[in-house]
Amino acid sequence: MQKNYLTLLCSLSFAPASWACPWCRPRVQAGIYTPTYTTNVLLVLLPIAVLLALGVALFYWDKLRPYFFASYGKS
């Protein structure tokens, strides 16, 4: 059943209805690739970077812990 859904989803991405028409394509591209394109992409990717950093921090927490909780009185 899942294979059928995956096949359907892949076939829809190649359908001509999902492509912009020759007249609309320049307007769509002009709306996407504005001078603020880099800022918009970075803002969209920021949550992924934060989640990745949290995951790495949790994975290496046992090695990072001495750096955050220094023990000055112990030898």
Q: What is the pTM of this model?
A: 0.51
* Rounded alpha-carbon distances, angstroms, from residue 61 to 3, 69, 72, 75: 39, 12, 20, 22
- Domain residue extents for the chain: 35-67
Instruction: Give the end-to-end CA distance of the chain in Å, rounded to a whole number.
Output: 62
pLDDT digits 0-9 by tens, 2-57: 778 788 777 766 666 556 678 888 888 888 889 999 999 999 999 999 999 999 99
SS (H, E, C) 33-57: CCCCHHHHHHHHHHHHHHHHHHHHH
